Structure 1
Amino acid sequence: MKFVDQALIRVEAGNGGDGCLSFRREKFIPKGGPDGGDGGDGGSIYLIVDEGLNTLVDFRHDRLYRAKNGQPGMGRDRFGKKADDLYIRVPLGTLVYNIETDELIGDLSEKNSKLLVAQGGFHGLGNIRFKSSTNRSPRKTTQGTSGEVRDLRLELQILADVGLLGMPNAGKSSLLRAVSEATPKVADYPFTTMYPSLGVVRVDDESFVIADIPGLIEGAADGAGLGIEFLKHLSRTNLLLHIVDIFQEKSKVYEDIKKIRIELERYDEKLSNKENWLVLNKSDLTSKEDNEMLISFLKNKLEDKIKIFVISAISSDGCQELIYRINNWMLKRKEKNE
């Protein structure tokens, strides 16, 4: 299934049913009092989280959602039936925007959450409501109000604890395969990853989710490449792992690191300020001495005291230690926030 992370839909809540103008007419009661009942409320529209969904692809074709109108009131004091509410299922992590105002209406980031996006119309009043001591035969009724109509933009932001980023072909998908049961496509060419992938990593009795997004290239903040379209999926993560291919010259490794940092800062400063670890991949193609020299070189060149790990996603060398360090960091963060 194709991954779709944005969709436009129109929601039209039901109108309220009109109130009824009626008088009681029975044998021996030729001039009975008013007995027109109220109408029913129109159906409202809600978005609800369905954990079985992971894309907005269904909204590519079904873009109009209408709730039913409330039933009109009837004579003999009979009220119209309220219309059923309409529930639209969306993936966990969906953001909902009002297109007209560009206002964020809601963030469906919790399980079983529900969001009202279009209120159904209020029912009209029957003439029985207007009977009084001075007006025994009221002919007044009210119409039901119109239901809300909204054009919405749905944006899906993947919920993950750890995000992988780096240049194309750095080995992000290989790492995801090595540490989780996810099976993203892996090949020796750039942009193998076309859509985000999620993997669940289990450590003893704990677990966390890793998200892999398409690789970034220079100029990504201006729309170049694929990764910029999916950078927003990293905004909810707690930890970023910057994967770097070290099977190249030291200066090129440093250059790749700087390019990604610049693109992150240009895209979103908050994202660039997240906890960020440097993961040097493809150690199976380099010597231990070269790796140690590279780490020393990077520590001198990089101003911040970033954590650096050396791994081989293909041979899994160093992956286990990295996963345990991530898990410990997650647990400490959780304890700190409680």
Structure 2
Amino acid sequence: MHRSAKQETLTTLTVAAGLIWLMPMLIGTYTLTVLVIYGMLGLSLGLIWGFGGILCFGQAAFFGLGAYTYAIAAINIGESTLPMLLAVLVPAGFALLLGAMMFYGRLTDVYLGVITLVVTLILFKFINSTAAPHYKIGSARLGGFNGIPGFQTLNVPGDPDAYIWGDAYFYLCALTLVLVYLLVSWLLRSSFGRVALGIRENETRMSLMGYDVAARKTVLFAIGGGIAGLAGALFANWGEIVTPGLFSLGQSAEIIIWCIVGGLGTRFGPVLGAAGLAYMKFLLGQQSLVDNTLITGLILVLFVLFLPKGLLPALTQLWRASIGRSRFGRKPQNRRMRRSNHG
């Protein structure tokens, strides 16, 4: 690992430790837990869209698939370790197959967005229509619009009676987000990540250089699906119920808005956008005067018009500009001091 990479990792761990220690003093851990989970979901789309150039309108499909996979497996197995693993592998495998069909089919960005959106709507429609008793997998009834409640929540591996909940569950989710963030950072610093960035900038050039563009986009798409599935499993444990609303069009749109507002093409931007907008939605939900959907749409319009790069790049640019002005302001004084010394 290069020195800059080590320094970045150390900075990430320091900032994460500070936030994990400070935030529970300001916001309850129950609310913080879902903000952390949404941050992971935003990061999953930020990876494939911001760094791979793949606009996916169906990230909610992988999120919901991970949640339902965990719930069904937990009911049939009665323990959470294997269901958590399946909740990552099933969405990742589904994304791998879907991505292979799309990318080897050489579909353009518009058709990619349409297909991923249609897949999400199909899953939403299908899950909603499974209320009949014969719709079940093993011992788990799908439940239709009522969802699946009453499954085994996260436990210490090997001890189904040792549940992880409350403050401990928040710290576990926060640690998982940090690990996923570090893994994404490592992936983007690797040769695979550099090629992915090259494909985002000029797909034809990378193809002429001999890289299998379709294969690399498929793998990146599957990784994003696996991360979204992990977020879905954690959400299922947090809410202790899964419903078809996880596949909804509104959920898909919110994930895209998180990335745009936070800062597309950055790692922390989608996490910041997801947590910030989700918390704002939580606060707006406590009143009935203003519709929170209207506020979210207004924020999106304002960011597209005035901060098209997102919040994090704007703050970074402002910080660098302030440092540059402070350094520039000190130069004349230093010159006068040198002149007086020579005099």
Relative to its length, the structure with more strand (as a share) is: 1
Relative to its length, the structure with more helix (as a share) is: 2
Is TM more than 0.5 here? no
Computing the radius of gyration over CA atoms, which structure comes out larger, 1 or 2?
A: 1
Bigger RCO (CA 8 Å, 6+ sep): 2
Per the shorter chain, which TM-score range? Answer: under 0.3
Calculate the TM-score normalised by the size of structure 1: 0.22
